[in-house]
Structure 1
């Protein structure tokens, strides 16, 4: 920490700087004071901008009046709504009237407008639009605290197979760059993708699922090329909150001993540091993901391997990339339901271990 503080002072000492701290949630006043003490060495005119959805954070971090962002103007809100909701239909005066009434409930929030408009773009009759306005939307208040409930309306109108696929995305950390091809392979491994048309592969059908969710506004920052390989995307923080809400107790991100010990036995899908898996109580895991976090000790010893193989025979997805282990126990073949195995990034993994590729679909 002393070295980091010294490096920071060296970077800003005597220099005029602009520092943006985006999406801050820490409400501890003492920690903010400690941070400010490290930032006082800049030249006159230096500025710090903090963005947050917490009014308490805004008050703690600012000596001036916080600037509260307002929603879009009526004209801009309608322009965005119209572009999405009427993309594939002629602009009927009756649809326009209903659409503007629905838009009043969106509070000018772009994400809400995009999501609601995306849901309506798949409804083809005036009756469906009126039903959406009079029934589902009528139960939602306009105040900011109901944004998540408004977004959930679009989730509620998804086909069941897309609901499973969206909720599964809760396993990714916030602001994580999602590789679409890998995400689709996860969906396939879990049995979410149904091959109704024999002329299409499961991968092609899964990619259609992704495009359907994207067109409804559930993803953002989708790569410019709409091709299969190399395509990435992200989820808005509020969409991630929605995925967490609808996933409930079946999915969890486990990044501390406390969370690991609290996750219930009904949990089926987890993102976890392998060293914490021994604290997990459930026995019916279907997904175990690992997103490298270099703040923790990355290791994978025989004891952890044995624990996973002995306790989680229902695993369908096992991703253990970026860990430091040399050998894979032959007992891994007892995981008879395993459909996706990722061991990439383990640079010292012995080449002889690659023989496991003939037992499972592997990524090495």
Structure 2
């Protein structure tokens, strides 16, 4: 009994002695190891931050995506951070057996990550999936549009111009022109283009959130507007290239400084699109460009281009088609919508009937939209019962929503908007057919989200028309 107790006491004493040795060791040489770990971790953290920032800038163009090995490396650095923090917090309170060396273990992990970062053969790859909007925008038609682009371009390379306004009625092509400017600027390495869609549902905080999103930063909802604005100004100031911020579809004036947009010819420039010249004036755009409708020949060229080669326009059929184009009043959106509805139609009786229907369309609308709304209504009237149901359902989504195709078809089925089918696969096929029809007649636009998932969206004028019909 006594010998066993003595043995236990001896083992306990030996353990205590080992612990004291560890404490003494950590008081001297291990302190140097801790300082070395701290320095190496700081170096690794800075490197990870720089790589994340560089990768994010490349990804914002939509033409590049991060390599998998880079993404995995960044995640490993992030996962190691809590261990480092916990170790520093516990500090000298650690009491471990001699065989365990937490400092050495962390040192090894940090060293491996630093070594990995030195062997990256580039950080990004070409993004052939081309997330988001198509890289090459819709073709511009008309001398006026090309002239507007040529007049805007010098303003972007002139040292004293920091703000540009593009205005015109709905459907005239303001967004299309802005996308061309975006595309050509993105080809120049000295520019960083940021695109934000503002829309009718406007507030300073919502605009701040949208800008923060394209800058790759996060704003707290608990912060006041002024604090959020300071964070945005700080983010803009860190951009290495000349920033061109494009605000599309602005409906009302706002104070740039209140949002956190620091205009400067050599740091940050602004391009906005709006339906109102007054908005351009109140935001104090230095240059303002008015987009006009297409002339007769330009409208006809656009119609033929969007109609495609399926329909041969000759003789009386061509004359009727030209009369239909005249009813569009030179509005690109109206012309594109009509051409989409008539694509593949070859019977002259259908063309004559389409012209008569277009002439008799009359929906209540604002003066600015008096030309385009009847055209959109005409296209809607050419749909069958189930296609109309599905189309009107889409306007329940908020403005500028990018809606997943599969999600939308599932809702068509759930809401019983289509004719009955005896199985879900057959019902889904019907929904896909209707969705394809709405895209074909240009009442819905195809797009993609940041994950390259297929989605659809409504032009804001098309949505306004749908809401008024309901």
Q: Does 1:177 align with 2:177?
A: no
C-alpha distance in 1 between matches for 2:319 and 2:442: 23
Equivalent runs, 1:15-54 vs 2, <5 Å = 16-27=242-253, 31-32=254-255, 35=258, 38-40=260-262, 42=264, 44=266, 46-54=268-276
Over alpha carbons, which structure has the higher Rg?
Answer: 2
What residue is the counterpart of 1:240 in the other structure? 463
Alignment CA distance shift 1:4-1:219 (3 Å): same
Find 1:90's aligned residue among 295, 312, 335. Answer: 312
Partner of 2:372: 147
Cα distance in 2 for partners of 1:178, 1:43 equals 37
Report the secondary structure of 1:89's partner residue. Answer: coil
Query: Counterparts of 2:227 and 2:247 in 1: how far apart (Å)?
Result: 21
Matching of residues 64-213 of structure 1 within 5 Å: 64=286, 66-72=288-294, 74-85=296-307, 87-121=309-343, 123-137=345-359, 144-195=369-420, 201-213=426-438
Using CA pairs below 8 Å that are at least 6 residues apart, which structure has the higher relative contact order?
A: 2
Q: 1:217-271, CA deviations, whole angstroms, 9 ceiling, x for partnerless residues?
A: 11113469xxxx9531222111221222222xxxxxxxxxxxxxxxxxxxxxxxx
Q: Is the 8 A contact 1:71 1:107 kept in 2?
A: yes
Which is richer in helix?
Answer: 2
Structure 1 residue 5 and structure 2 residue 229: aligned? yes
Tell me the residue number matched to 1:304: none
User: Partners in 1 of 2:401 and 2:368 — Cα distance?
Assistant: 29
Aligned residue in 2 for 1:231: 454
Aligned residues: 239
Deviation at 1:63, TM superposition (A): 4.6
Q: Unmatched 5+ residue regions in structure 2? A: 1-224
State the Cα distance separating 1:47 from its structure 2 match. 2.6
Do the aligned partners of residues 232 and 120 (structure 1) sit closer, same or farther apart at CA in structure 2, a change above 3 Å counting? same
Q: TM-score, normalised by structure 1?
A: 0.57
Contact 1:176/1:234 (<8 A) preserved: yes
TM-score of the two chains, using structure 2 as the length reference: 0.45
Compute the RMSD of aligned alpha carbons: 3.3
Structure 1 segment 301-320 matched on structure 2, within 5 A: none
Q: 2:281 aligns with which of 59, 70, 95?
A: 59
- Distance change in 2, residues 1:204/1:125 (3 Å): same
> How many angstroms apart in 1 are the aligned matches of 2:268 and 2:423?
62
Which deviations, in whole Å up to 9, do the C-alpha atoms of 1:158-197 show, x marking residues without a partner? 1111111000001111221111111011111111122469
